Amino acid sequence: MHEIFSEPGRVQAILDFESALAVAQARTGVIPSGAAAIIARHASVDRFDLDMIRADAENAGNIAIPVVRELRRRVAGEDAAAADYVHWGATSQDAMDTGLVLQIRRGASSLGSDATQLCDSLFRLAERHAATPVLGRTWLQAAVPITFGLVVAGWLDGLERATDRLSRAAADASVVQLGGAAGSLSSLGEKGSAVTAALATELQLQVPAIPWHTQRDRITAMGASVAMLIAALAKMARDISLSMQTEIDELSEPVSPGRGTSSSMPHKHNPVACAVALAAGLRAPALVAVLFGAMPQEYQRGLGGWQAEWSTLPELFTIAADSMRHMSTAVGGLVVKAPRMRQNIEALQGLAMAEQATLALAPSLGRVLAHNVVEAASGKAVEQHRHLRDVLGADPEVTKHLSAAALDEAFALDASIKASERLVRRMLAERRAGV
């Protein structure tokens, strides 16, 4: 990702536009075929002096101007006439926007395929732990038992939708920009549409209804979908890092020498992957805000808004890739401590099973009375530090209806997490069936 959105990456994408434009214009009879061939031959960043281009861009106002100038100079070295056909009828923003679209396509494809692989890991993890009990936690408080598979299914659900949004946004954004000086393509006379269509074919991009120099929604939507992916990863990192807390200790990022360890504090295991993903989760919203804030651009070419996009969208892709790489490592080698998960539930002295005890008593007492009986017993259990099962087992109103065995069953952890398992299995089956 760093490479795609590096400075050479950006310049090459601009050159890819110039090359394809020349080819498209040759094909539609706008410029001579020979000129197009020469232009295409020189459109490679390898031979460009990026320091000079950066310096010139400072004065010119954008990077396409010196890139085009340099391309023209190089083409002229071979054929002076051909040089005049470089960037024919186009404006800088045509080159920069279409170049950006090419970078987006590469970046989204790379991110998307990493995301799909991570989804696969999560799928397997959810399956493996479909019935592994873990405390559900709300408001950072222990609530009722669910399964770790359900937790992972939630991550998977979020990440799949994010991946899907990403690919849809990338497809939507894969549109040629070609408008000339003020978006009317007047410089190409009657050939405007034909050149645009040929250029789109050449680059395998869509033809827009009209040029979109100051209609930036597709760029912003692309950034928003990348931020959505970052948020999905950050949610995962939130849960993993919380579950790695010393006192909870249910999960762990994979351990390896020099990774998140501390020589002076041997008990520590820092969630370094999660830190990267959470930091990305804090930065991405602001970067998206820049894109939205930059949208109301002036007239036919923006002043400030367009320029604000230049480093913002690449930054989003880059931190998404960093976050993805780290979280793929974290999930790929995730240590799941099922015994500890069970222990943390048991430490609640049966209170986490109050709901299930109510369901067991309901057929005989009626749902409402059952609820009241269990609620009272729960209060007593907390107050007296007793196990809820024991409090209920000492209540004649309960034992009248439930045998000790039935009561034990009500407190059986495996029974209580059936609902979670059912949800996970159904969701995974639907995924497998491609629903």
- Active-site residue set: 262, 301
CB atoms within 10 A of CB 40: 19
* Residue 84, phi then psi, degrees to nearest 5: -70, -15
DSSP 137: E
Q: How many residues does the chain have?
A: 435
CB atoms within 10 A of CB 61: 11
Alpha-carbon distance 185 to 253, whole Å? Answer: 55
Residue 16 or 236 with smaller CB distance to a copy of itself: 236
| Smallest separation, CB 249 to a copy of itself (Å) | 9
| Smallest separation, CB 197 to a copy of itself (Å) | 12
| Smallest separation, CB 271 to a copy of itself (Å) | 6
Cβ–Cβ < 8 Å for 12, 50:
no
Helix 354-365 vs helix 367-384: crossing angle, to nearest 10: 140
Alpha-carbon distance 227 to 219, whole Å? Answer: 13
Q: Whose CA is closest to 45, among 17, 81, 83, 82?
A: 17
Residue 80 or 405 with smaller CB distance to a copy of itself: 80
Residue 37 or 413 with smaller CB distance to a copy of itself: 413
Residue 115 or 227 with smaller CB distance to a copy of itself: 227
Cβ–Cβ < 8 Å for 381, 388:
yes
Q: Whose CA is closest to 108, among 278, 225, 234, 236?
A: 225
Residue 16 or 365 with smaller CB distance to a copy of itself: 365
| Smallest separation, CB 59 to a copy of itself (Å) | 5
| Smallest separation, CB 292 to a copy of itself (Å) | 4
